Amino acid sequence: MGLNQTQLDQLGRQLDNNPLEVLILSAEQANLLAADHATSHWSPTQAPSLCVRDDITQASGLLDSIRPHYNDSLHEFVNTAWGMPALLGSHDAVNFARFVRDMGGLNTRVRYVNHNGRQYVVLSGYPGLRRILTGTRYSVTNTRLIEMGIGRYGIRGSSLSGFKLSCYFAVGVEFLEWFFNSEVNMLDLLGGIGVELVKAGIASAVGYAVAVAAGSILGFAAAPVIAGALLVFIVGVGLNWLDKRYGIKQRVQDSLNYATDNASMIAERFQELDSRKIRSYVEHTFGEVVDAAVDYATQETKSWILRRLPSGTLPEPPYRLPNLDILKFPKL
């Protein structure tokens, strides 16, 4: 059931007599408004009330209290050339200790054999000391062998796991750098993540190649684990040093910011290009390339024909060099 006209008029008068104004102000603006109200002599229709966003204020205060500790500790550590490789190296050290425990020491050797068209991994050593691989022969696709990082599939799986972990660390550190640094924008975050992912990919690829070579040459089960971890650490430190030395990450971030800030100008420059000049340049360049290719093909064809013809097929040139012995020069 709806309201009649009398009730609507009464509701309108009540709204007119009870106005409520809501202002969203910063802390400084609210303090100025309160001070102005305290010193003024006019009487408002309603007493002003202040509703403080306690959650935002507390979160901002908590962030301000944590930021100095982060800048003095973790920020300095992760921005060194060896910081991130050391964190990943500690994880590799834990995995290596677990590997040695499960394999019963460092004396287990690995040998690859082919039988009936299938490749097997033969383990030699003390099977009684091993916790997981207690047998002596396993297929290269065996699940437990791959989990231990033995064989080509196991080494590949370990390298992929290490690459994923490097990516997680890189993204996490770059996010912390963006979160605690008010001068870093979203483009800086994306540029930093991109550079770190490239470095992680290079280090993982080199570590995988060295691990495969070490497993094939040395023959010890622990050789790929040790060689791969050491090379990943060394390459990671080297790439970070090159990044700091030449400012690669900073240049990528500056390029992204420049491209974003000058996107309209770059678009105008492309629009100002004369399409006829571009077409003329492309046609001229293409013509030169075609002429050079035709000349090269012609010369190669002539040379090939001359090499294939037997000697004496073509007539000798008619000219002969004069005999200089019969020439008598007068004596002075």
What's the domain count of the chain? Answer: 1
314 domain-assigned: no
288 domain-assigned: no
329 domain-assigned: no
CA-nearest of 203, 193, 190, 187 to 171 is 193
**The one-letter amino acid at 246:** Y
Q: pLDDT tens digits, the chain, 332 residues: what are they?
A: 556 777 777 777 777 777 666 666 666 777 777 777 666 655 555 555 655 554 545 555 566 677 777 777 788 888 888 989 999 999 999 999 999 888 888 888 888 888 888 889 988 888 888 888 888 889 888 998 888 888 888 999 899 999 999 999 999 999 988 888 878 888 899 999 999 999 999 999 999 999 989 888 888 888 999 999 999 999 999 999 999 999 999 999 999 888 888 877 777 776 666 667 777 777 888 778 878 887 877 787 777 777 766 666 555 555 555 555 555 656 55
80 domain-assigned: yes
Domain that holds residue 159: 70-104+149-261
Residue 50 gets which letter from DSSP? -
Handedness of CA 235, 77, 241, 165 (dihedral sign): positive
Q: Are 174 and 192 in contact (CB under 8 A)?
A: yes
User: Hey, which residues does 112 pair with through a beta bridge?
Assistant: 121
Strand pairing class (137-139; 118-124): antiparallel
239 domain-assigned: yes
Q: Are 161 and 176 in contact (CB under 8 A)?
A: no
User: Hey, which residues does 200 pair with through a beta bridge?
Assistant: none
Structure tokens at 231: 């090379």
293 domain-assigned: no
Structure tokens at 109: 């050797």
Cβ atoms within 10 Å of 231's Cβ, excluding its own? 19
Q: Are 148 and 99 in contact (CB under 8 A)?
A: yes
37 domain-assigned: no
> pTM for this one?
0.62
Q: Tell me the three state secondary structure of residue 110.
A: strand
